[in-house]
Copies of this chain bind each other. A is one copy, B any other.
Amino acid sequence: MNNYPSRIIEQAVEEISKLPGIGKKSALRLALHLLKRPESQSLQLAHALVQLRTETQFCPQCHMISDGGLCGICHSHKRDESLICVVEDMRDVLAIENTGQFIGLYHVLGGIISPLAGISPSDLQIDSLIQRVSAGKVTEVILGLSPTMEGDTTAFYLTKKLKEFPIKISTIARGIPIGGDLEYTDEITLGRSIVGRVVYE
């Protein structure tokens, strides 16, 4: 697949295949798809991509994407400012917001500590989290990180950093998913759900 008949196609395939999860073959498929569609679709897509990168701003408080200034959540008067949920990226915020169960604010780290991927604590929005907590309004930090090696590492690091403050530190519950079947749950999850059992009060 090296002999593209057109330099323009080659360039488009090259650029599209830089996206994660899209190889040269898929990129070519997408490029040919765009060629078959009305011109306006490609131009709108290109415009949206330029806007995305040149006009998007980040909330100065929680580092969530915003159209400018504080994001909608930080700006709202209905949220509980004493509660901060720390998450890896914006998708987690959207996922938690969709549950409708959380009324506090967020703090988007912008990644997760991963020595393998070369991401160290200094690459993440950890200093600004410490600042938010040290301002004194916060009473609880909930660590909403994925139950993976990297998530646990990040949680451990944050716990160490935050323990000097007089706040509660908690993590989202890990255990058997609702609707899940005990028999088919993997042993690590099941083990954790026994260790982390909840006592009826």
A: number of interface residues (CB 8 Å)? 59
Say whether, besides A5-B90, A64-B5, A97-B3, A39 and B54 are in contact (CB < 8 Å): yes
CB atoms of B32 and A42 under 8 A apart: no
Instruction: Tell whether A8 is near chain B: CB-to-CB under 8 Å.
Output: yes
Instruction: Tell whether A11 is near chain B: CB-to-CB under 8 Å.
Output: yes
1/0 per position for A21-32, CB-CB distance to B under 8 A? Answer: 100001011111
CB atoms of A35 and B5 under 8 A apart: no
CB atoms of B66 and A6 under 8 A apart: yes
Instruction: Tell whether A34 is near chain B: CB-to-CB under 8 Å.
Output: yes
Chain B residues within 8 Å of A8, by CB: 48, 51-52, 55-56, 65, 67
What is the chain B residue whose CB lies nearest that of A33?
B20
- Give A116 to B134 CA distance when docked, in angstroms: 63
Instruction: Tell whether A18 is near chain B: CB-to-CB under 8 Å.
Output: yes
CB atoms of A9 and B72 under 8 A apart: no
Residues 42-78 of A at the B interface (beta carbon under 8 Å): 42-56, 64-67, 71-73
Chain B residues within 8 Å of A36, by CB: 110
Say whether, besides A30-B20, A41-B18, A89-B32, A94 and B4 are in contact (CB < 8 Å): yes
Instruction: Tell whether A163 is near chain B: CB-to-CB under 8 Å.
Output: no
CB atoms of B54 and A50 under 8 A apart: no
Instruction: Tell whether A19 is near chain B: CB-to-CB under 8 Å.
Output: yes
Q: Which residues of A contact B (CB under 8 A)?
A: 1, 3-9, 11-12, 14-16, 18-21, 26, 28-36, 39, 41-56, 64-67, 71-73, 89-91, 93-94, 97-98, 110
Q: Would you list 13 pairs from A and B whose C-beta atoms are within 8 A, ordered by A residue?
A: A4-B94, A5-B66, A5-B90, A6-B56, A8-B65, A8-B67, A9-B90, A14-B48, A20-B30, A20-B33, A21-B29, A34-B53, A46-B50
A-B contact sample (4 more), CB < 8 A, given A5-B65, A8-B65, A49-B49:
A5-B94, A8-B67, A12-B48, A31-B52
